[in-house]
Amino acid sequence: MKKIICFFFSCLFGYSLLSAQTKLNRANIVIIISDDHAYQTISAYGSNLMQTPNIDRLAKEGMICNKAYVTNSICGPSRAVFLTGKYSHENGFKDNETSHFDAGQNLFVKELQNNGYQTAWIGKYHLGEKPQGFDFWEIFPGQGHYYNPDVIMMDGSTKRIEGYAPNIVEDLSEDWLDRRDPGKPFCLIIGHKSTHRTWIPDTCDLGMFDDKNFPLPDNFYDDYEGRAAAKVQDMTSARTMLPDYDLKMFAPGHPEPTVDRMNAAQRERFDAYYQPVFEDFKARRLTGNALTEWKYQRYMKDYLSTAASLDRNIGRTLDYLDKHHLTDNTLVMYLSDQGFYMGEHGWFDKRFMYEESFRTPMLIRYPGKITPGSSLNEYVLNLDIAPTVLAAAGVGIPKDMQGENILPLLTRTKKTGRKAMYYHYYENGEHSVSPHFGIQTKDFKLIRFYKRVNSWELYDIHADPKRYA
């Protein structure tokens, strides 16, 4: 009997020890989510437009997902899918214009909290102003600003912080990491405003692409033949992109809400850079294609300069983890809330189920689990992140989450992913993109447009992916 009791207690003690160790060793999670960052501009994805050494570091030390997509290519709804692991029609946040996010529903961060994790979201959130599921949050109201952004604090007050948004988001993130309880695992979501319109670079990055001339994408002058929805959109460099609002072509001191927030020193450096560009622009008196192509070049310069700061601050996050000996036990994921057009079809913006907006960059580093330098060519969705993070944390996945746990794909214990992806864009407003839904298999893409235009489009995605889908 004594032996049995001893055995029982040693088992119990062993179990508690194991359980404590398991809890202590549970992976930390850092998810860096940017806004409108195109995979076409990331050197790890083969881009020659610029170098992104810090995102590339994630590719070298982890896995690059070459076929990562979103279920609804628009800021708020994409984030709702990410947090809930449910499609827009289930989580209720279908579009930015008429929907509101119900933060009271279940979210993967709430599951993490219930299982001993500390959770935080810092930076651009874009799902209202009262986050739930986070032990700590400091967020931008709505879109936030590039310069001297307002930050909503947990007590409901708003504080204007001097500086440039990506640097501030990283500073606040590191402050929270410094203050967290080191005895518990954590999940930190770093939300960057970059590279959202209107692409205002940090003062230290102004002019960094001035020597570069960017080649026009092959389909820059697309005639949209046979594509009714593409014909009626309003997101071209030619027609939609505004020299003043988008490309900062205005005189020094001209009132413009995005730059009026700058302090005197910031505005001086801004004007010193843009004024000669503006003077040159006025003198040229460009029209037609010459004007369109000039706008495209300026767009690329501003966008990529904004991306440079984003990449640098991702590097700061990785350096912080190294410095604090957290790298080995932290899963780091980088993604955007969707893709973006860099002149393909003559466009900027997103929304369509065509490749550049449908797809998102996604890179994941998970030391000891994911092979460094590996790549994944199976379909994965932003919908999959919630269950995957829970699986990595050893937390049960709620049955009503619709995403798949892709951890077995990331760790190569499973070879084949989903056969098809469902997409649905609901909004019918800004940029005049018709609502549409569709299915993409490994060979075909079928899209049904409705409301604004009524049409079907079917593509063989291998036959002519660049010109069409």
User: Smallest distance from the beta carbon of 91 to Ca ion, in angstroms?
Assistant: 17
Q: Give the binding-site size for Ca ion (rule: CB under 5 A).
A: 4
Nearer to Ca ion, 75 or 333 (CB): 75
Cα Dmax for the chain: 98
Nearer to Ca ion, 354 or 468 (CB): 354
User: Smallest distance from the beta carbon of 166 to Ca ion, in angstroms?
Assistant: 15
Amino acid at 6: C
User: Smallest distance from the beta carbon of 282 to Ca ion, in angstroms?
Assistant: 32
- In the region spanning residues 102 to 141, those forming contacts with Ca ion, defined by CB under 5 A, are none
Nearer to Ca ion, 35 or 293 (CB): 35
Nearer to Ca ion, 174 or 311 (CB): 311
Residue 336 corresponds to which tokens in the numbers above?
């955007």
Interaction between residue 337 and Ca ion (CB under 5 A): yes
User: Smallest distance from the beta carbon of 428 to Ca ion, in angstroms?
Assistant: 18
User: Smallest distance from the beta carbon of 315 to Ca ion, in angstroms?
Assistant: 22
User: Smallest distance from the beta carbon of 247 to Ca ion, in angstroms?
Assistant: 20
Nearer to Ca ion, 197 or 248 (CB): 197
Nearer to Ca ion, 192 or 312 (CB): 192
User: Smallest distance from the beta carbon of 296 to Ca ion, in angstroms?
Assistant: 20
Torsion 261-262-268-269 (CA) sign: negative
Say how far apart CA 172 and CA 205 lie, in whole Å: 21
Task: With CA atoms as reference, report the closest residue to 447 among 435, 438, 459, 455.
Answer: 438
Nearer to Ca ion, 117 or 340 (CB): 340
- In the region spanning residues 28 to 67, those forming contacts with Ca ion, defined by CB under 5 A, are 35-36
Query: Which residue in the set 75, 249, 389, 409 belongs to the binding site for Ca ion (CB under 5 A)?
Result: 75
Task: With CA atoms as reference, report the closest residue to 464 among 227, 152, 271.
Answer: 227
ω into 198 cis (within 30 of 0)? yes
CB-closest chain residue to Ca ion: 75
CA distances from 223 to 311, 313, 461, 468 (A): 35, 39, 19, 11
Interaction between residue 349 and Ca ion (CB under 5 A): no
- Which residues contact Ca ion (rule: CB under 5 A)? 35-36, 75, 337
